[in-house]
Amino acid sequence: MTSAGDIDSTLIALGGRGRYQLLQLIFITIGSFGAAYQLLDNIFIGRDVTFHQCSPPSNNSQIPEDLQDVDWNSSLVKYGKCQITVNQSQNIQEHDCLFGQEYGYSRELSFRTEFDLVCDYTLLGSLAQSFVIMGQGVGAVIASIISDRFGRKNVLVGSQFGLLLVGMGIGLAPSYAVLGTLKFIVGGFQQGVVTGMATMSIELFPVNLRHVTALVGSVMWAMGACSMTLFAYLMRDLGWRYLQYALSAVSIVGLLQLWYLDESLRWLVANGRKEAVTKVLKRAARMNNKNLSDVLRTLATHEDENPKAGSKSSTAHSMSHDSSVDHSHVNPVFTISEKPAEVNPLANGQTEKETMEDGMKPNDVIGEVDKNLVDKHRSVLDIFRHKRLLFNACIIWFSWFTCAFSFFALYMMSTSLHGNRFLNYFLTSIMEIPPGFIFFVLVNRIGRQGTTRLFYLLAGTGLISSGIFRIFSGNSALGTMSVVASMVGMAGASGMFGAVFFYTPEVFPTNMRNQALGVSSFAGRLGGMIAPFMSSLAEIAVWAPGVIIGSLCFLVVFLFRFLPETKGRELPQTMGDINAWYTEDEKKKSKK
């Protein structure tokens, strides 16, 4: 049966890690900057309120008629954080902040202060981040369905422009209600960018080079997260709206993606887009300085199992031989439709143009798409029709929930680090860089399972240790250990995100892959929505957030042992490839 290995053979014929693939990967992952900014910018545009109290009246017109006799500048009037206490003739009265709030910094520096999100409205400040994550959950599902049906590039580029326009709209928000609504929408577009980047990156390389995408993707994301510190610091004295405009403007890179990014070759093949496949391969072969004819022949199937000498099939086979690529295990993707027997291989120094003029044309090689590689349009509901796939999916969804729970809780509680707030954020975000290199080194050595479980183990250990050390935060040495443990937990949490983003697309077929990634991401958003409230839990029991989330990480370490190892396996193209995996795994277990 034809398998996804056919496409891997074509990618190998293109050079595997050539100039074309690397440039495409850069254009894909450059979207990390805008995605990171819109996800995390609440840390700066919605900075915490360090000081606030009720304001005195600025003029008499603000004073209600029944309180005109009160001397509001008297020492008998006390202005508290959320109430004004008036002691008049031994009659003590308490009023809400009738004349607004005063803050420790300019009102325009944070939407929390501009919209007076203090006292009874303090919770709304934290909900702004939850709105983003809720939008991510919805966007992950919608964007992935559209992506599997209409193409990866369309969703990725469209979502990038969505970040640009909606991000600018947030800067214009006249009220908190409008801001919250736009935060929800921008979360949806943010997830369209993130899932699009993950899927397109992993589909760009053959199996032995996929770990390159994890390294580049994690480093680009970390660079985006870290670079926001520079924007925030340089614009620290300007209003939050100006910072929002600057961070949103970065998403103009969508123009570069629109012009230079190609559609995923795997998606084009799975959906029978013959002409588009030819166009992509022609461009890739030219940029990688490869023989287009040889690349095209890796997609040509044999018409007969035992072709006779001189037949079209045997001729195509003899001409598709390439000493640098082993095609012995491959049933190519496309059939021969013309007369390749009249075509001679490229001579040394002969140009692609000359070869085309000599008779070889892309459509001479590419005919009808092999039915074994074309899968029907699938939805995520197909997961529920296969018990083993559903079992695996449930474990993956839980791992995503735990991953996002850990990641966002650590980011939102980064203020536990003492010192400058810009430095605190930078130290937290820079811990996302080492996991990318760790993943790159280990993923092809100990496998996907082992690498992913290692990061969950690291995060769990860091979180639980941090929670325990926080109990003794009065001791300076143990307080420092709590900070160190939190940094270790952040490194693990970042590695978890990279690992599950890398692993999840590998266990679902092409026409279900992005939808499955979207639903998995939605499960993660459920954990992310809870994370902002861990600070409130810490006020009740300082150890609780770390111990609870760390325990969930250890549970994932146990559950992951039941999932299939995808190391050395090509991306599954159809449901048949998935079923073949399970049959193979069951046979291996029965022999033990």
pLDDT at 69: 74
Q: Concatenated DSSP letters for 153-184? A: HHHHHHHHHHHHHHHHHHHT-SSHHHHHHHHH
- Note the pLDDT of residue 414: 63
| The two three-digit tokens of residue 19, written as one number | 């100039």
User: Scanning the structure block, which residue is given the tokens 């300019």?
Assistant: 106
Burial class (CB in 10 A: 0-12, 13-18, 19+), 196: buried
Neighbour count for residue 9 (Cβ, 10 Å):
24
Instruction: Check: CB of residue 545 under 8 Å from CB of residue 534.
Output: yes
Task: Let me know the angle formed at the C-alpha of 513 by 199 and 553, rounded to the nearest 5 degrees.
Answer: 80
pLDDT at 336: 34
Q: What is the C-alpha separation between 383 and 494, in angstroms, rounded?
A: 28
460, 554 contact by CB (below 8 A): yes
pLDDT at 272: 80
SS3 content of the chain, % helix, strand, coil (to 5): 65, 5, 30
Q: Which residues contact 177 (CB under 8 A, 6 or more apart)?
A: none
Reduce the secondary structure of 309-347 to three states and give it as a string.
CCCHHHHHHHHCCECCECCCCCCCCEECCCCHHHCCCCC
| DSSP label at residue 386 | -
First and final CA of the chain: distance in angstroms?
27
Q: Are 336 and 365 in contact (CB under 8 A)?
A: yes
d(CA 381, CA 281): 33
Tokens of residue 461, six digits: 């250990």
Rounded (10°) angle between helices 211-234 and 32-40: 50
pTM of full prediction above 0.85: no
Cα–Cα distance, 238 to 234 (Å, whole number): 9
In single-letter form, the type of residue at position 330 comes to V
CA distance 488 to 458: 7
Cα separation, 570 vs 583, whole angstroms: 16
Place of tokens 């080194």: 441
186 within 8 A of 170, measured Cβ to Cβ: yes
Pairing relation of β-strands 52-54 and 101-103? antiparallel
Count of CA atoms in the C-beta half-sphere (13 A) of 269: 33
Residue by residue, pLDDT tens for the chain (592 residues) are 334 446 778 888 887 778 888 899 999 999 899 999 999 888 889 887 878 888 888 777 777 877 777 778 777 788 888 888 887 666 778 888 888 888 888 888 999 989 988 888 888 887 888 899 889 888 877 887 888 888 889 999 999 999 999 999 999 999 999 999 999 999 999 989 988 888 888 888 887 777 778 788 888 888 898 899 899 999 988 999 999 999 999 999 999 999 989 898 888 888 888 888 888 888 888 888 888 877 777 765 433 333 333 333 333 333 333 333 333 333 334 443 333 433 344 434 444 444 444 444 555 444 444 445 444 555 567 778 777 788 888 999 999 999 989 888 887 776 555 556 787 788 878 888 888 888 888 888 888 888 999 999 999 998 888 888 877 766 667 667 777 888 888 889 888 888 888 888 888 877 677 778 778 877 888 888 888 777 667 767 878 888 899 999 999 999 998 888 888 777 777 777 777 777 776 676 666 5
For the range 303-308, what are the long-range contacts, defined as Cβ-Cβ under 8 Å and sequence gap of 24 or more?
303/335, 303/336
Where are any strands of DSSP class E within 290-425? 300-301, 334-335
The rounded distance, in Å, linking the Cα atoms of 264 and 203 is: 7
Query: Please, which residues have CB within 8 angstroms of residue 66's CB and are 6 or more apart in sequence?
Result: none
**CB atoms inside a 10 Å sphere around CB 356:** 15
Task: Quote the pLDDT of residue 71.
Answer: 78
- Find how far residue 202's CA is from the centre of its chain: 12
Q: What is the pLDDT of residue 89?
A: 67
